[in-house]
Amino acid sequence: MKKRRSVADCFVLRLFVTGSTRRSREAVADVKTVCERHLKGRYKLEVVDVYQDPSEAESDQIVALPTLVKKLPLPLRKIIGSFRDQEQVLAILGVRPLRRST
């Protein structure tokens, strides 16, 4: 029997970027890589371009870009800047990295 996932098992993330700049594209790729490696099947990622939707950045009190916001599960967390260091991103999000088989 398959275990049903509860809302608490799902990570709701919002990534705020500025257009399609190199830095924005790298941020999106880095966050997707972390999510697919460590949260596969249990995350929802929304990418918000603040040029297209500045009110979203204002409502989430975003002051620097790129910024990743973990909405759920609580507590709310924000990461600003680079997302290349996967262990650091996971620690801030409160996610234990998956163990690799040796």
d(C-alpha 55, C-alpha 5), whole Å: 32
pLDDT score for 100: 56
Q: pLDDT band at residue 96, thresholds of 50, 70 and 90? A: confident
pLDDT score for 8: 55
pTM score: 0.86
Name which of 2-6, 19-23, 67-71 the model is least confident about: 2-6
Q: pLDDT band at residue 1, thresholds of 50, 70 and 90? A: very low
- Fold type of domain 9-93: Glutaredoxin (3.40.30)
